[in-house]
Structure 1
């Protein structure tokens, strides 16, 4: 990797943090007994950390997707099957057994937003749900009938609001993991129909 490529990774690709570890742990625990050949998509893969953990620790076939071309390149370099995609748009109806997503969830004042890849990886808009709500509206289309979604949500975003929005799209929700920090609580929701 050249110096320019390294700069792209450091400044343009979300690297694993507490939220990534929590989501990977929860998804791997729940998917450990998945059928061989189950198809799992990680939306917004960033560095590919979560997809890599699922690929290593479960029998599922994993696809890592991100809108950010730098993230797709990093995930491919990590040996993952990675594609450039906006949420779930290019995936076939009913094709996925599970979808895993650590969305941009930080509430952000529109006057303080920047137009770069890292900002897109972090900013959830004014209410923190600018990416979550469109995802919830679309993800049901690509899930197999008994498929699940593993969605990381912050208390800053409003877990109850996300659960309510998921319900409007036909999902039930259960909290499968959470971790508290001084400024927020992170929760992994499993969404199912």
Structure 2
């Protein structure tokens, strides 16, 4: 079992669970500028629970998360994260009670012969164009979001940052790229979607 310490939080992770990586840290750091004490927050696909654990340890917020991989759900619980084991929103009642919903989706374009065996496929497989999970998320997220709530979505150049921004706008969100990082093989961005102006 490996461990990592970040922003006053110790997170452990095990095999068969997506290890915290550049995308995980970028989403976590981006969220720090938009979290307020007292918020109700939902994280979809928490994995190790890294994002939720760090936010919980640094803010007075109520956080619940979902995760389909049973090994990841158990790992997140060991990191003191409240987890509902389900596929995205499936195990939740459609109650508009969250101020912020976070998602680091599987975004790699994946053909049938590129799929990873077992539960880990859910962490990587974004469908043929890398956007299947993102479209599923956007189809459902407003059923769980307060009317003045916001979403934060980690996206990659592999699935098209500008394209996803336009898709989010088609769902009625004003979209702002709040963080961008370029790596040797891809660019990552965090898109903040709201019906109000973001923090300056």
Give the alignment's TM-score, normalised by structure 2: 0.86
Instruction: State the Cα distance separating 1:107 from its structure 2 match.
Output: 1.0
> The residue matched to 2:155 in structure 1 has which SS?
strand
List per-residue Cα deviations over 1:15-72 (Å, max 9, x = no partner): 10010000000012211xx142x21011100000011111111221111211111111
**Which stretch of the first structure deviates more once superposed, 110-119 or 163-172?**
110-119
> The residue matched to 2:178 in structure 1 has which SS?
strand
| 1:19 paired to 2:23 | yes
Preserved CA contact (<8 Å) 1:64 1:75:
no
List per-residue Cα deviations over 1:160-192 (Å, max 9, x = no partner): 111111122111110111110011110000011
Q: Which has the higher helix share?
A: 1
Runs of 4+ in 1 over 3 A off after TM superposition: none
C-alpha separation between the residues in 1 aligned to 2:50 and 2:116?
A: 25
Preserved CA contact (<8 Å) 1:101 1:152:
yes
Corresponding residue of 1:140: 142
C-alpha separation between the residues in 2 aligned to 1:144 and 1:84?
A: 23
Give the alignment's TM-score, normalised by structure 1: 0.89
Preserved CA contact (<8 Å) 1:105 1:154:
yes
Aligned runs of 1:112-131 on 2, under 5 Å?
A: 112-131=114-133
Preserved CA contact (<8 Å) 1:171 1:192:
yes
Q: Extract unaligned runs of 5+ from structure 1.
A: 2-8
C-alpha separation between the residues in 2 aligned to 1:191 and 1:115?
A: 33
Corresponding residue of 1:78: 79
Select 1:30's aligned residue among 31, 34, 52. Answer: 34
C-alpha separation between the residues in 2 aligned to 1:139 and 1:110?
A: 27
RMSD, aligned CA: 1.4
C-alpha separation between the residues in 2 aligned to 1:80 and 1:63?
A: 7
**How many pairs align?**
183
